[in-house]
Amino acid sequence: MTPRLTLTRALAVLAVAVLAVAGALLDLGCGTGGSAADDGSLRVFATATFLADIAQNVAGDRFTVGSLVPRDADLHAYEPTTRDVARVSEADLFILNGGGLEGTLEDTLRSSASDTTFVSASDGLTPRTPQPGEPLAADDGEAAQGRAVDPHYWLDPTLTIGYVETIRDAFAKADPAGADEYAANAAAYIEKLRDLDAWIEEQVAELPPEDRLLVMNHVSHGYYADRYGFRIVGAVIPSVATGATPTAKQLAALTAAIRRNHVRAVFVEPAENPRLADQIAAETGVAVVADLRDHALSEPGGEAATYLAMMKYDTERIVAALER
């Protein structure tokens, strides 16, 4: 055997060993959560932590649902790593919000994981029509560019019931033996969602209708506003995604609307840059509430560690900021 051939074989053995170690790490679910199922149970991931939590309530004890996007990352602009793609490729089911929320992330994952079944949790839900004067409304000219669908259905818990039913049916189809368990878990969680809806109504009732005015950092709370009687005055970024850049004209119009309507606060999420909101606040005197958690849960044990807790936390922050 020549020295050259010996080196070639040694390198081949080393490459196989490296791939084996990498595969083992993936099977252990290193990173943002979830693990390969050695016991034959379903392997399921979701894009965001709030989606994984909703799905986990349906799965119960049959398997663990992992989340792909880190808790405080911008879901609209997240770019998957090689490890992310590998996880999704090895999953039986991958749960998306849908409606365009994941943007190019969805396209990348679908093209890279052709053997994985993708489930869009918001399938079947009817997109809202923005009201006159809102960003993306038909009379808003520049701000209406693209007429993008608002994908933030989950901010209305009654619409989240649709998520639960879609996920329940997907789990039952993939694992018929667990269908009865998924149905029972879903029914119990739906009752919790109805209780959450009633709780939010009670909290918002403390605000006079004329004080229920929302300005968000990007277009996100339309379904929440429709359900609980708020009016959307505007958004710093007049888009359902956070990557758009408002024009000087749009920022001037928002500043004027805030003054005209005596708006009290602008709401920003941790993953968003509050620079423009801070600029508007400096000009108008409104408060900037920069810790809503609409897209991402807090760490376990935190103030918004589950979807239900996140919705309560955000409602408390909104009501407190708008009270006289």
Does the pLDDT at position 146 exceed 60? Answer: no
Q: What confidence category does residue 220 fall into, taking pLDDT thresholds of 50, 70 and 90?
A: very high
By mean pLDDT, which of 77-86, 144-153, 192-201, 249-258 is the weakest?
A: 144-153
Does the pLDDT at position 142 exceed 80? Answer: no
Supply the pLDDT for residue 132: 83
Domain ranges of the chain: 17-145+152-193, 208-322
Supply the pLDDT for residue 147: 53
Supply the pLDDT for residue 24: 36
Supply the pLDDT for residue 38: 60
CATH topology of domain 208-322: Rossmann fold (3.40.50)
By mean pLDDT, which of 29-38, 55-64, 72-81, 222-231 is the weakest?
A: 29-38
- The reply to whether domains 17-145+152-193 and 208-322 share a CATH topology is yes
Supply the pLDDT for residue 73: 82
Average pLDDT over residues 253-274: 94
Q: What confidence category does residue 153 fall into, taking pLDDT thresholds of 50, 70 and 90?
A: very high
Mean per-residue pLDDT of the chain = 86
Q: What confidence category does residue 194 fall into, taking pLDDT thresholds of 50, 70 and 90?
A: very high
| HSE toward the beta carbon, residue 82, CA cutoff 13 A | 3
Does the pLDDT at position 217 exceed 80? Answer: yes
107-113: which pairs have CB atoms within 8 A and are 24 or more residues apart?
108/79, 108/80, 109/80, 109/84, 109/85, 112/85, 112/88, 113/85, 113/88, 113/89
Does the pLDDT at position 135 exceed 90? Answer: no
DSSP 148: -
Q: What confidence category does residue 139 fall into, taking pLDDT thresholds of 50, 70 and 90?
A: low
DSSP 141: G
Does the pLDDT at position 95 exceed 60? Answer: yes
By mean pLDDT, which of 69-78, 144-153, 186-195 is the weakest?
A: 144-153
Query: 12 or 287, which is more confident?
Result: 287
Average pLDDT over residues 143-170: 87
Superfamily of domain 17-145+152-193: Nitrogenase molybdenum iron protein domain (3.40.50.1980)
Does the pLDDT at position 45 exceed 50? Answer: yes
